[in-house]
Structure 1
Amino acid sequence: MLGLIGGMSAESTAVYYQAINRLVRERLGGLHSARLILWSVDFAPIAEAQARDDWAATGRELAQAAVRLESAGAEALLICANTMHLNAAEVQAGVSIPLIHIADATALALKAKGAARPLLLATRFTMEKAFYRDRLVAAGLPALIPAEPDRARLHAIIYDELVKGVIRAQSKALVMQMIARGRAAGADAVIFGCTEIGLLLDPDDLGLPAVDTAIAHCEAAADFALS
């Protein structure tokens, strides 16, 4: 029984629900679907806390969600977002069930593609803070990040468009240009390091191996649930 902490955003949480159920159906056949419980938070106050760098507040919110999911019968947890793994330690500390970490799932998927120097595309928090990149480094995958102007543009695309379900061709073109600059700087793969980026980009269009972290996370969850 998987416990999902979602709502960050609702757009990508829908991807999680569909992908996990699809993977379980593909592996078990017939009419099988996933056994899971979803706790969907209100993203607005969490985004406000992020903006003022109040990660203690976001940690409390997610830890409470984790406790509620465990009490409801969850046997493993997923935080359905990359940035909110900044609070992974607080979430894990509050429960006795395992947390399936998105960066670990991403690292496994990158290694399966033979990547060594991926370009990390994500929110400013995920690109600039150490919590995510350090975990990749520990897996032998030092990540490149875009230059500061591109980080600002990408962050705005995520928060002003993607989390609201707004998909714009102009924004896709801008991100494709960021990927081209990353490739010129030595990137050999691309990490969709925000769970909404897969709504904007198709990995098959990039000319580089790509890992959609939402899908990699779902695959790790299905592996765990069915093992």
Structure 2
Amino acid sequence: MRTLGLIGGMSAESTTTYYQALNRRVRERLGGLHSAQLVLWSVDFAPIAQMQADGDWDGAGAALAEAATRLEGAGAEAILVCTNTMHKVAPAIEAATGVPLIHIGDATALAVRARGGARPLLLATRFTMEQDFYKDRLRARGVEALVPDQADRDRLHAIIYDELCQGMVESRSKREVLAMIAKAAGADSVIFGCTEVGLLLSQADVELPVIDSTLVHVEAGVDFMLS
């Protein structure tokens, strides 16, 4: 088994999901007492979130690039960044290391196409929904993402940062996000494009096919480890 390096903590809530899902999937595929061979660098999210809010993506990229080099030094043979939004700084991470970065956007786009989708509703942070770094990655693989309207984008962003990243799962917020999905005209699927959205909703809540970016990213990481 090859060693996977995780850059986590953004948020710690979803990084817990990554750790559990990686180990569970390895056990399912190998059986018995097998578990995932991992090294984890978990950042303090508060300074990173402030950099995001300030538009200091160079600073955020430098912080995650340093984390990646530490993981490589600890034996990681590939890097998994346990967040969608911070893939905005993927080029800085890739430039800092000699090991591959397993990109969440690639894994998500492939999963959308595998489920017969091409026009998914993207539910994510405001950065991911409004900037091009993620949507362009999907578009390169034949996936044209739709996003909620401005008011819903603002509300979803607040739900993610003020609630889910802090371990709060509110029934009112769940109803609000389901309403966003219900009015998404033309969507053929739904991307949980923030690693925390899966803490709030599941496929059982949504009629359209759901692509949980966390879980498909995990699958890509396990494919690498076991290849």
**TM-score band, normalised by the shorter chain?**
over 0.9
Q: What corresponds to 2:222 in structure 1?
A: 222
Counterpart CA distance in 2 for 1:189 and 1:160 is: 26
Query: What does 1:102-113 correspond to in 2, within 5 Å?
Result: 102-113=104-115
Amino acid at match of 1:88: A
Q: Which residue of 2 aligns with 1:37?
A: 39
* Cα distance in structure 1, aligned partners of 2:94 and 2:37: 21
**What displacement does 1:204 show?**
2.0
2:62 to 60, 63, 84: 60
Alpha-carbon distance in 2 for matches of 1:116, 1:140: 7
What does residue 140 of structure 2 align with? 138
Deviations 1:49-81 (A, max 9, x none): 100111011000000000000000000000000
Instruction: Name the counterpart of 2:96.
Output: 94
Deviation at 1:203, TM superposition (A): 1.3
* Equivalent position SS for 1:56: helix
Amino-acid identity (%): 65
Cα distance in structure 2, aligned partners of 1:115 and 1:87: 27
TM-superposed deviation, 1:202? 1.2
**Residues matched between the structures, number:** 225
Structure 2: give runs of 5+ residues left out of the alignment. Answer: none
Give the residue type in structure 2 aligned to 1:156: A
SS in 2 for 1:161: helix
1:125 to 99, 124, 127: 127
SS of 2:40's equivalent in the other structure is strand
- The answer for unaligned runs of 5 or more in structure 1 is none
Q: Give the alignment's Cα RMSD to 1 decimal.
A: 0.5
Counterpart Cα distance in 2 of 1:128 and 1:46: 19
Task: Give, as a single letter, the amino acid of the residue that structure 1 aligns with 2:92.
Answer: E
Structure 1 runs, 4 residues or longer, greater than 3 Å off: none
- TM-score w.r.t. the length of structure 2 is 0.98
Give, in whole Å, the separation in 1 of the partners of 2:197 and 2:182: 16
C-alpha separation in 2, matches of 1:82 and 1:130: 13
